[in-house]
Each structure stands twice: as structure tokens, then as C-alpha cells.
Amino acid sequence: MALYVGEKADRRELIDTAMGRVPADTVLSDGQLLDVYSGVIRQADVAVKSGRIALVGDAKHCVGSDTEVIDCSGLHLAPGLMDAHIHIEAAMTSPGQFARAVLPRGNTAVNWETLWSANVLGVEGLRLLLEECRRTRLRFFLTATSGVPCASTDLVTANHSFSIEDIRELLAWPQVTGLGEVVTFNELVACRERELEQIEAALKAGKTIDGSAPGFVGRKLAAYAAAGIMSDHEATNAEEALDRLRSGLRLVIREGSSMRNIVDILSALAEEGADTRRCCFCVDDKDIREIDAEGLIDDLVRKAMSAGVDPVEAVQMGSLNTAEYLRLDQEIGGIAPGRLADILLISDLKDFTVRRVMVGGRIVAEEGRLTEPAAVASYPEWALNTVKLKRELSGADFAFPTARREESRVRVVKVLSDQIISYEETATLPVVEGEIRPDPGKDILKLVVIERHGRTPPNIARGFVRGFGFKRGAAATSISPDHHQLIAVGADDADLQAAVNRLVQIQGGVVVCREGRVLAELSLPIAGLMTAIPYEETIRHLEEISAALRDLGCKLPSPLMTLAFAGCPTLIEFKLSDKGLIRIGEGKLVSLEVEE
Amino acid sequence: MALYVGEKADRRELIDTAMGRVPADTVLSDGQLLDVYSGVIRQADVAVKSGRIALVGDAKHCVGSDTEVIDCSGLHLAPGLMDAHIHIEAAMTSPGQFARAVLPRGNTAVNWETLWSANVLGVEGLRLLLEECRRTRLRFFLTATSGVPCASTDLVTANHSFSIEDIRELLAWPQVTGLGEVVTFNELVACRERELEQIEAALKAGKTIDGSAPGFVGRKLAAYAAAGIMSDHEATNAEEALDRLRSGLRLVIREGSSMRNIVDILSALAEEGADTRRCCFCVDDKDIREIDAEGLIDDLVRKAMSAGVDPVEAVQMGSLNTAEYLRLDQEIGGIAPGRLADILLISDLKDFTVRRVMVGGRIVAEEGRLTEPAAVASYPEWALNTVKLKRELSGADFAFPTARREESRVRVVKVLSDQIISYEETATLPVVEGEIRPDPGKDILKLVVIERHGRTPPNIARGFVRGFGFKRGAAATSISPDHHQLIAVGADDADLQAAVNRLVQIQGGVVVCREGRVLAELSLPIAGLMTAIPYEETIRHLEEISAALRDLGCKLPSPLMTLAFAGCPTLIEFKLSDKGLIRIGEGKLVSLEVEE
């Protein structure tokens, strides 16, 4: 089981090992060490005892008859990499499979922003997930997520709602690094008591406070920083990146599925001659197919190096800087005496080719594969049955009735290719038999959000969306950050109904239907967000789903992400929740039909 | 009263100020900001509200009718400087006078290693001193000092002895940054349970652990770091400095009275191309005369710049790096929204000429002077009467009786000019009337240590010392780190007796006698270590004392420091405590006379 910060080390044994009085368990000899502390590369041995590093330097005197000596000549040694802010649910894999996918690539720790799971499963759900995390060799750290509920309950139906006592309890867990991303947009700038209380609780606990301030600059960003927020991962350009650093925030540089910012930001920092010591790396949201193809933080390190960043500096942003920010640097983030022995053996530094991965002194992955079976966990029924509609849905649920005749001017959610933001548009649609009809010819489809936590009759919110390009059929998913209601898009009512009904049957996931038939699907039984099947199978299902979506006429590069975020009540700028269409900036609901 | 970390800020008010909804108290306009976060200098305004920074950038919208606007065009703005490790007792001034001496030079915070005072006054004494600290505008942070007692009680008589519960209590104080310097030499490497317990307590409290490992390199330094120690300030050369950084320790670069290391270390770092992000500045021990002449951390910043270090990087080592190490960087260490408004207005960056000093949003010093009276405090009798000899001393107490005839081969403490270490030598001295006599002609004088806490009859330990060069007279002081027994050096028994007796009368300080007369003295009534008189008077007394010592024939540059440390049982290599002569490396007492 992975060691966690706060667990007592046997310091006497480490001292004796360093002094040569007790032999090391393992000595990594003659490696080229990426020293993130001094910022230079040098030759050194590393002596490991009981999962921690006892000595770095000349370790001949630490070798005993039972010591395993691993010849690292010709190899580089780097500290294990850490993601500073990730929603692992975006990979749709449970912690065990997620660890299986990322550990062999050199990612030994993640700071899991638990916003998604917590909204569905609450504090008890986090406890459950942590149990699976603890069975892996990946060091999962969690946030006491701020966003439960994820938005004002006037705008969305909440399943769980964390009280300040819940936050305090979570902050007391040793695996919890701090308060999760404080996503409040104008509310915080308007000083919402709720967030201010959470912030004081985190400061009092001596833990960190993650931010999320997309588009904030100038006075708004200053207000955000003044509130006590310590980081932000939403910067997309030079101005935003520099403004964050200058405001004393940790600049968490993101390169995920839908948001790819690293090249722009690193070049901006280089141009400014800015110090990167307070820059960290994260993926935020990343599709398992892209994780499989590119990696996680190893991908950012590679991209930083090819953008001209010095290798040690690139690794610092993926290890020490994050450990320092999260106050874990006494335990992880570098290769030094007393630290947990999380060490990467790298054969080609330029390509950051990770040959072997050591975590807690054990080789846990070799040549891209775990050396032991992936962790599995069994979840109780309540965590596996989270799509709780209070009644069967009928065709009428997917009809858009109107009092108007012939046509109606309606508001439309305009989604953008490869972005999670969406804007408000209007369009005039035909009215047939008292219903507003979509117009696939003009790429205007139906968008439906259905409250799935069993808190309402259920609420069914109706809207139109432009940008998916479906000519036919429908798709539905239980992934819709951060509340994770059911969200469906379609050109055809019958397919919408079929997709949603199937989604209910499989208790969450993704379903694509055409002519009443299921073309492809993926079941995500854990919270309706994750599955424990081997991640390669998840990838296969996702590829079938992509093909099915193309068959419907969809040309978006990542349509599932786009669909999921079309319901997100905390992003820019126009979204659909189970309560209706939301103008985020104004924090209010608006009608589907434009008033005449 | 200076704000301390952990005090609740009015975040709502800061947010409103940043947004322009509430006017700032003060706006520093158009300054050249040394941005320690991004590492660059840029023009910016700083808006201050209720002691904290609300906004950095364009602050026009923060100016109201009652806002004080300070035009900073042509000035540089730097964060207040912080000393990472200081024994303020070495300046002999009480906290109020110390603050008066250092604040106007831009030093706004210190991390006070309380080892000296704690050995004399215990936990209650630290509470008392903190009371005076809180009356100043300097931010005093304290350590939960590890060294009480300062060494094995087999080697020295302890006054106080901190239990692990005492340490835990101190670690819970908001002003306590962590465990004070773990001075254990071979003991720690031999795994003394006492220090390991203290280290676990500090880790559990989420606080820092200061080190003190003079001369440690290689496996011994690795063992020290593996024990959980987080910093060291004893590096004197390139090898030691780099070894500390590479071991993951914070490299606290020292430039004090007796140890001047900054130039050697910074040039070593530059040669290695080492990252200075984990380097901090400290003076450790600094004489008030040198503080008055050179400054505190401002002196190190100046010396770093003249050694070719970039100004922002130099200031980082004197501010942000220390704040990050001590986990205070959310409160101090840089100029950013939410931080306490501790800001220096600098007219000449190259000379680091500090014109005005702002602490907590108030101008506390201008043109080298405090803008308000220095803090004073009254101490109870028990803190002012700490020289408690159980009986009058007689001439016999200063005689060195022997069974030998004519002459005796004795061990001698060899002190070095401008160093706090001393070595073992032997010498043959005349025996007259059954007493071993000193030999001022060969620069061999008597060295006497007398237990002053009233714990023994008292113990009086006798030795000889070489290096002071007295031709006549004697000097005595109650400053003898870390136990602070009375220590006296002299060529003449009567003067030794006169000096010690006077020292008892004035309840500690420094006394120099010749021909039975007091030539010069300084009374240090607070713990026998500090005085609350204006620091200029202290300087005057010290200059009289220096003149008197020269009159006795002493040629050492800082004889008081040399005398004080001749009794220090935790330094290299041969010292005298109240129990006798100590071979530090072996941790054992040896006889005055060499066995035949």
C-alpha cells in the first residue's frame, strides 16, 4: 500500500543505513541524477531503505550481502511526477485502472480534485474511493472539494451539499492536501460567506486552497488572490499566466484534453524571463485514450523540454514545485535523504523514456507495465446505483411544447470545437403540432438535462444546441460536470428517449442510439462516472462510441467532453442545467423562447 | 501590535478594496516592484487595506477621498526582509531595542532561535519575551528550541530541561515556526531518542525543523537529513553548501559576527549554476555594533548584489525563500494580494538604501528611524535575577591546585581569532605553592566556568586557554552559549575574582577588571543576556569594554564572542563547561592535567 504523508518513518533505521551501520534494501548505482533541489544533473548513487531514501551520493558503504544493486549507468534518475490538479473521473477509469495507466509512465502521485465524485457520492463516497486508492501504488492525494453543491441551488438541483463541518472533517484527513478549486466566479468577488468560511478553515488547518478563475485578470484576479486562494490552473495566454504569478498564485500550467495551454504559457514565461519555481503541471481533465497515447505529467515534461525548457526545470514543474505548493516536499518531489523513494529510471532524457518506476522503494512498473496486478475494489450498491429516476420517461418528456404557432424564436447553446465553454445564440425554429422542433439541417439539435439523483419528479430541462452536427440519432451521458445529471443531445425524440432509457438501465455511462437501436455504449457504474474494467476495454468502447457519433454526423473532435460541459453551471457562458438555461455571468435562468 | 500568521484577515474587505467598492487606506503609486514571485522588476501600484495588500497593479480605482497616496516614482518596492535563523541575544538588546535597530533597515521579520533564553528562563521566559516582541512592529517568530538542555547533562549542568510535552506545547504557539536547531552532533547520528521524538512532534504539527550541522558532509549529512531535518546554516565552503542543497536541506546562508560565509557560498553556487530558490539568509549571531554599522539581512542582500547576484534573486533569498521554508509565504515574503503589507521603499537599489519601511500597512520607519517610540516591557524579578551563586566566591575558587611539583603538563583550550571553534592543545606550566600557574608570557591564561543557575554548590570548572593575549587583568561574562554559565578568563586570580563578583552584583553581563578595579562593564539584567537600555548605550559600553580588553593586551577582533563560545559544549572541538574540559567529538570529560 502506498505510504502517505504523515506516516511515521523509521528514522533510526534511515540514519543507520546512511551511516553504513545497516545495509540498504536497494542501491541505484551510478545514475545521472536530476537534482531538483540544486537544479543540476550529476552522477550519484541512491540508497533506499524501507521505502525511503537514506542517502544520495556515494553509497558503496550502504551495500550489504542482501542489498539489491541496480546498475543505473547510462540512465537518468528523476523524482516521480505529480499532477497538481486532476479530475480522474474524466478518464472514466476507477483509481486502480487509472493507476495502471499512468504509473508506468512515471506519474507517481496525483492531487485529485474530487469535485465530480463528491457531488454524486458525498463524503462517504470519497471514503470509499480512497479505499481503492490505498490499494494502488500511485499516491492519491485528495482535495476537500469546495464545489458541493457545484453552483447555487437556484440554478441546479444538488444531490449532496457539504457543510463547513464536512469541509473541516475532510481537511483533517492526512491524504487531503487542502480545499479544492474554489469555483465561484462573480460570487466570490461578491464575497459569498460560504467560500470565505471554507478558505478560513483551510488556512486554519495549514492546508492549501486551490483556485479556478477562468478569464480572471486585473482587479478580479487580485480580489480572488486577496481572498486567500493560492493557485489557479485556468490560464490560457501570456497575460493570464503572468498575472497569476505576479499575484502570488501558484501558476498551475494545464495540458489536458480540451484545454491545451502549455506551449503558449511556457513561451510567455520565457519571453518575460519569469522564474518558474512557482509553476506546476496538471492535466485537469484528460481522456483515457489521450492518457494512453500521450501520458499524463510525463507528456507536459516532454512538451516543456521540446519547447526549450531545461530538463531539470521541466521536471521541477512536474515534481518539486507541486510538492512545495502542496506542502508535501518533505515526503515527495525530489530525490534526497528522508524522502519516500519514488524514483524514475529514464533511458532517453530528451524523450523522457521511463524504463522503470520505483514507488516507496519498490519497482512497481517496468517497460510500460505494472509489475503487479492492478488494484481492484468492490463498491456497495449505493455507489453503483446512482441513476435514480422517480418514473419511466415517456415521449412527452422529450417534446418541447409551445403556445406559439408556425415558428418560435429560441435561445440556443452554441458549443465550440475543442472547448468547454459555450455561448448564447438565438434561432427561429418551426413549430409543428404545438411543439418546437429541432432543425438538424441548420445543426440545431435538442439538448435535454434530466435530474438523476432522485431529488426531483425528475426535473427535465429542455434546450437547443448548435455545434454537434448530428444529422440523426441521439447520445446521452451521466457525465455532466459538476452535478452530473443526465445530459442528452439528439436530432430525434425517439432516439433521445431510447438513449436516456438505456443509460438508466446501465446505471450511467454513455449511450449512442440511432433509429431506436443502441449503436455503442459504455457502462460507468461507479457513481455513473467510472468503471473498473481494464482501461483498454474502456478505450475500445470509447472508440466505438466515437465511430457511432461520426455515423450520426458529428464532426467534433471530442464530442463527449463537449456534451458533458454543455451542462456545466460554472463555466463560460451559457449552459443548460436540470432547472433550465443559465446565463452564467448573470447567475440567472432564462426562458427557452425569446420573449416577443 | 504586529500581526501574526494565523490571525484572521477581513477577506471581504480586501476583496471589496481590490474591486474598487471600498477605498484603500494607502496606495503606493508608480513604484518599481521587485516581484519575488515572477522574479522580475516591473512598475506597479500597491493598494493596502487594514494592514494587508489588496491589489498590485493599476490601483487608481482603489483611491478614495481618504486614501493616502504615496508617490513611489523613482523608488523600488521590495518585500520586508526576514532573518531565517537568529539568536537575538547575541546583540545583547531586548526585543524592543533590537527591533529599533533593525526595522529601519528593512528587516521586518526574524525567526528567533530561542536556545539561549530558553536555557536560562524556560518556557515561561519565552512567554515573557514574546510579550515584549508583540509590542514591537517587527514580526518575531520563535522556534521551539530543541537544545534545552543544550547538551548531555553528563557534560554540563542544565537549568531547564524541555520535555517532549514542552516541545509540543511550544509547537502549538502560532508564532512558533517549528523545532529549533537540532544540535546533536554525533548523538543524532547515534540516534538519540530525544531528538527523534522532537522531530516527529514537529512533523506532526506540520511545522519546520531547523538544523545545525557544522562540518557535516557525505554520509553524516545524509543521516542528518534522513532524520527529518529541513535546513542547515553552518555551511562555510563550496562543498558543504552544495552538499546541503543536494541533500534537500534549505541552505541558510550565514553572515554574522564570527561566521562570514556569504561570499564564498554564493560564488560556489554561481560556479555550480545552482538554483538559489532553496537558499535563505541569516546572521545567526551578530554583535549590536555590527548590526548598527552594517545592518542585518539588508547587509546580506547588499553583499549578494555586489557579488553579482541579480537584485530580485538576492531579495528572494532574504524574503520569499525564507517565507516558503517556514510556511509563512501566504502571509509574508512578497508583495501580492492577501499578504501582510510589509513593504520597503528603496531609493537606491544597488546600495539597497531603505527610505521608508511599511509593516502591516503602517510606515514604521523613515530615514533610518522608527516613527514611534521603541517598545518597552517590564520583567518580573525572577527574569532579572538569574545569577544565583549559592555562596560568596573566595580566592581559593580561582586557584588550580595540583599534587605535582615544579611543573605540570596540562590541556589547553586553543581559541582562534574570529572563530567560535577551539582545539585541544597541551602545555607545561609552572607549579608554585601547590598550584598550577598561568603563563601570560606564553599567552596561557586561566579559564573558569561557574554554574550560575543555583543548581549546584556551585560547580567551578578550571582550565587554561591560549589565544586571548591578556598580559594582565581578567574578564567575565554571563553569556556562554548555550547554557550561559558564568565564564571568565584572566591572567590574575584577584582580577578573576573581582570580575566574577561584580558580575554577580550586576546580575549578569560583562565585566573587565584590572588590579582589582572594574575598567568597564555592561549590565545585562534580562536572563543575564539582554538589556532594555537604548542600543546606542549598549554600543558605548561595549566600546569601553573593547578598549579595556585591549588595555589588558587582548588582540582578538571579537574577544567577548570568543570567550562566550569557549564554554559551548556543542561546538568543535575542545571546550570548558561547569563540569570540566570536554572533548566534543568523543562527548566526554577529560582531566586538566595530562596523565603521566
Q: What is the pLDDT at residue A7?
A: 60
Q: Which of A176, A277, A310 to mutate to test the interface with B (most CBs of B within 10 A)?
A: A277
State whether A274 and B246 contact (CB < 8 Å): no
Residue A263 burial (C-beta neighbours within 10 Å; 0-12, 13-18, 19+): middle
C-alpha cell, A354: 521511463
What stretches of B407-473 adopt beta strand conformation (E)?
407-415, 422-432, 435-436, 444-450, 460-466
Nearest chain A alpha carbon to B339: A226
Q: How far is A45 from chain B (nearest CA, A)?
A: 12
State whether B203 and A42 contact (CB < 8 Å): no
Given B52, B248, B336, which is nearest A336 (Cβ)? Answer: B248
The answer to whether B61 faces chain A, any CB pair under 8 Å, is yes
Cβ atoms of residues B361 and B61 within 8 Å: no
What pairing do the DSSP bridges indicate for beta strands A76-79 and A26-35?
Answer: parallel
What's the predicted TM-score (pTM) here?
0.95
Q: How far is B358 from chain A (nearest CA, A)?
A: 19
CA distance A356 to A365: 6
Q: Which residues of B touch A278 (CB under 8 A)?
A: 37
- pLDDT (tens digit, 9 = 90+) per residue, B283-302? 999 999 999 999 999 999 99
- pLDDT (tens digit, 9 = 90+) per residue, B381-430? 999 999 999 999 999 999 999 999 999 999 999 999 978 899 999 999 99
With a cut of 90, say whether residue B572 has pLDDT above it. no
Reported as a pLDDT band with limits 50, 70 and 90, residue B28 is very high
The answer to whether A217 faces chain B, any CB pair under 8 Å, is no
Q: Which of A193, A219, A325 to mutate to test the interface with B (most CBs of B within 10 A)?
A: A219
Query: Which neighbouring-strand residues pair with B530?
Result: B526
With a cut of 60, say whether residue B1 has pLDDT above it. no
Q: Which residues of B touch A196 (CB under 8 A)?
A: 11-12
Reported as a pLDDT band with limits 50, 70 and 90, residue B183 is confident
Q: How far is A247 from chain B (nearest CA, A)?
A: 5
Q: What is the pLDDT at residue B257?
A: 81
pLDDT cut 90: percent of chain B above it: 90
Average pLDDT, chain B: 95
Q: How far is A92 from chain B (nearest CA, A)?
A: 34
Q: Which residues of A touch B11 (CB under 8 A)?
A: 191, 196, 199-200, 226-228
- pLDDT (tens digit, 9 = 90+) per residue, B473-526? 999 999 999 999 999 999 999 999 999 999 999 999 999 999 999 999 999 999
- Compute the count of residue pairs across chains A and B with CB atoms less than 8 Å apart: 198
DSSP assignments along A320-345, one per residue: HHHHHHTT-TTTSSS--TTSB--EEE
- pLDDT (tens digit, 9 = 90+) per residue, B448-479? 999 999 999 999 999 999 999 999 999 999 99
Rg over CA atoms, chain B: 25
The answer to whether A238 faces chain B, any CB pair under 8 Å, is no
How many C-beta atoms lie closer than 10 Å to residue B334's C-beta?
A: 29
State whether B223 and A327 contact (CB < 8 Å): no
State whether B8 and A324 contact (CB < 8 Å): no
The answer to whether A37 faces chain B, any CB pair under 8 Å, is yes
With a cut of 90, say whether residue B188 has pLDDT above it. no
State whether B230 and A203 contact (CB < 8 Å): no
State whether A336 and B225 contact (CB < 8 Å): yes
Cβ atoms of residues B449 and B480 within 8 Å: yes
CA distance B556 to B559: 5
Reported as a pLDDT band with limits 50, 70 and 90, residue B4 is very low
CA distance A550 to A544: 10
With a cut of 90, say whether residue B184 has pLDDT above it. no
The answer to whether A248 faces chain B, any CB pair under 8 Å, is yes
State whether B38 and A226 contact (CB < 8 Å): no
Nearest chain B alpha carbon to A202: B6
Residue B394 burial (C-beta neighbours within 10 Å; 0-12, 13-18, 19+): exposed
CA distance A560 to A285: 12
Nearest chain B alpha carbon to A57: B218
Query: Which of B388, B587, B569 lies closest to B463, judged by CA?
Result: B569
CA distance B310 to B264: 17
Q: What is the pLDDT at residue A546?
A: 97
Q: Which residues of A touch B202 (CB under 8 A)?
A: none
**H runs (alpha helix) in A92-215:** 95-102, 115-134, 164-171, 186-189, 193-204
CA distance A226 to A248: 10
Cβ atoms of residues B566 and B383 within 8 Å: no
Reported as a pLDDT band with limits 50, 70 and 90, residue B136 is very high
Given B189, B218, B245, which is nearest A15 (Cβ)? Answer: B189
Angle ∠(B95,B146,B150) on CA atoms, nearest 5: 90
State whether B11 and A61 contact (CB < 8 Å): no
Cβ atoms of residues A480 and A413 within 8 Å: no
The answer to whether A572 faces chain B, any CB pair under 8 Å, is no
Q: Which residues of B touch A334 (CB under 8 A)?
A: 248
Range with the poorest average pLDDT among A22-36, A457-471, B163-177, B250-264: B250-264
Q: How far is B354 from chain A (nearest CA, A)?
A: 23
C-alpha cell, A524: 460507468
Rg over CA atoms, chain A: 25
**H runs (alpha helix) in A336-452:** 381-384
State whether A191 and B53 contact (CB < 8 Å): no
Residue ranges of chain A whose pLDDT lies below 70:
1-7, 184-191
Q: How far is A331 from chain B (nearest CA, A)?
A: 10
Higher per-residue confidence, B156 vs B189:
B156
**H runs (alpha helix) in B259-307:** 262-272, 288-294, 297-306
Q: Give, for A242, the enclosing helix (H) or strand (E).
A: helix A238-246
The answer to whether A164 faces chain B, any CB pair under 8 Å, is no
